[in-house]
Amino acid sequence: MAENKIPISDQPLVMKFGGTSVGSATAISQTVDIITTHHAQYPQLVIVASAMNGITNLLLSCARNAAEGNWKEYTQGISAVESKHSDTISALALSDSRRQALTADIQSIIKQLRNYCASIETMGEVTARGLDAIASLGERMNVRQISALLEEMGFSSRVVEADEIIVTDAAYQNARPLRKQTLEHTRTILEPLLKTGVIPIVTGFIGATEKGVTTTLGRGGSDYSASILGDCLHAQAVWTWTDVDGVMTADPRIVPDARVIDHLTFDEVSEMAYFGAKVLHPKTMRPLIESNIPLWVKNTFNPDHPGTCISNQASQKVGKITCVTAIQDVSLITVRGKGMLGVPGVAARTFSAVADKNASVLMISQSSSEQSICFVIPSADQAGVITSLEKELAYELERGDIDAVHATPDVVIVTGIGAGMRNTPGVSAKVFSAIGAKDINIIAIAQGSSEYSISLVVDKKDADATVRQIHTEVIINGQK
């Protein structure tokens, strides 16, 4: 009888496990099961792991409380971090000696956390660099837990701290990777491990400057770490394991009947992530596009589900919106005035005043009459941007050429996305009639120049209803 052999891959595969996938001893065991199950078929397996869920938030709150001199709060925070890990270690199926060695390792990181917080308290402030040093500790602890369990199960693995590999600029909290240096480190550090069958367990989220100072790639950045490594290793694919069956037609917490999408393009997912879908870090797709390395999103807790495949392959759904997203906590800024008509440079000065405050503009809409420019920024930047605009446009405001610089807080951007919308008339009309049917007031509209998306600004109170209405009427009923 012919043997039914699964082909063994000769290319690396990168698997990333998110916070909930490694958020408890049970979840870590499930993750380790997935790793060991796939290792035979993918002997060159690189694992990228996040911190246990909730830990990065706790670490950052410890740092902020230390800066405020809130001793009680930050010591309680340290205890919470410590007990989450010690409870996990107690519940992992480890031999006594391995448990002791792991406990000692984690304790030395907790000691580092105590020292960092004590220094921050003394200084009375915490820098972005300090926040990165502290935030990185969650991933450092977790890779040790995963590696210990893998070793216990007889697999050879190695903890790899990504500050040895991913070289970035010094933009702390949102660092950009430097590909050439990262590629070199990948070759010298990861490739030899893979050639000898060792499974590297790499900290997600973290990088380091050329001088070796720890940086982070932005919140949720472990997805990005995985795609950076996938690109540098010429991996056959990157699989991100999370707590849902794949990328869905909407956030399942807002739309309970959201469906898993089996295939999406890199452009569609970049647009989704940019417009608020938390499922992947917005930069994740960048390193994979040129090399066309497919990215799969899969569920750690339902590993037999095929998940979502993201690649360069064009979407088949002509004329369709595939998913709907929302960005919360944003403000609409309007610069309005009849005297703006035809005055060159007002738009440029407006946006340079915004850039001076380092605020990112999420959406722009200009009326054709040129009497107003409106744009959306994160609410946290609202006060600074208004002050900066009033200063920049003081002359026009005084002359009455510009009537007002106005902020509408508590708005939400709802975006319908789909590569199939491109060159297809009537898609926007479907969106507007769906919203109109619910009497929801649309404050502003913009269509992305890529024509992959259409965005609406609505009041915060209407956000969920708008998302659900587009989902039901345009995505679900629109497919019929």
Shortest CB 110 distance to ligand ASP, Å:
17
Q: Which residue has 């002997």 as its token pair?
A: 43
Q: Cβ of 43: how many Cβ atoms within 10 Å?
A: 16
Q: Cβ of 246: how many Cβ atoms within 10 Å?
A: 24
Asked if 172 is part of the footprint of ligand ASP (rule: CB under 6 A), the reply reads no
Separation CA 391–CA 374 (nearest Å): 18
Residues that bind ligand ADP (CB under 6 A): 18-21, 50, 220, 242-244, 247-248, 250-253, 277-279, 323
Angle between the N-to-C axes of helices 128-135 and 137-152, in degrees from 0 to 180, rounded to the nearest 10? 20
In 3D, which of 409, 411, 417, 377 has the Cα closest to residue 251? Answer: 417
Name which position in 27, 28, 51, 238 contacts ligand ASP (CB under 6 A): 51
Q: Which stretch binds ligand ASP (CB under 6 A): 49-57, 195-203, 313-321, 343-351?
A: 49-57
Is residue 177 within 8 A of residue 27, CB to CB? The reply is: no
Q: Which stretch binds ligand ASP (CB under 6 A): 217-225, 242-250, 340-348, 425-433?
A: 217-225
- Grouping H, G, I as helix, E, B as strand and the rest as coil, residue 99 is helix
What Rg do the C-alpha atoms of the chain give, in angstroms?
24
Which CB sits closer to ligand ADP, 145 or 350?
Answer: 145
Name which position in 116, 205, 375, 452 contacts ligand ASP (CB under 6 A): 205
Is residue 453 within 8 A of residue 417, CB to CB? The reply is: yes
- Neighbouring C-alpha atoms within 13 Å toward the C-beta of 174: 3
Asked if 207 is part of the footprint of Mg ion (rule: CB under 5 A), the reply reads no
Q: Which residue has 């480890």 as its token pair?
A: 94
In 3D, which of 394, 359, 387 has the Cα closest to residue 375? Answer: 359
Which CB sits closer to ligand ASP, 93 or 380?
Answer: 380
Asked if 230 is part of the footprint of Mg ion (rule: CB under 5 A), the reply reads no
Q: Which stretch binds ligand ASP (CB under 6 A): 48-56, 246-254, 392-400, 410-418?
A: 48-56
Q: Which stretch binds ligand ASP (CB under 6 A): 74-82, 220-228, 379-387, 435-443?
A: 220-228
Q: Which residue has 């926007």 as its token pair?
A: 428
21 touches, from ligand ADP, Mg ion, ligand ASP, none (C-beta below 5 to 8 Å by class) = ligand ADP
Binding mask 17-36 vs Mg ion (x if CB under 5 A, - otherwise)? -x------------------
In 3D, which of 201, 134, 203 has the Cα closest to residue 173? Answer: 134
337 touches, from ligand ASP, Mg ion, ligand ADP, none (C-beta below 5 to 8 Å by class) = none
Asked if 220 is part of the footprint of Mg ion (rule: CB under 5 A), the reply reads yes
Residue nearest ligand ASP, Cβ-based: 222
Binding site residues, ligand ASP, CB under 6 A: 18-19, 50-51, 56, 138, 204-205, 219-222
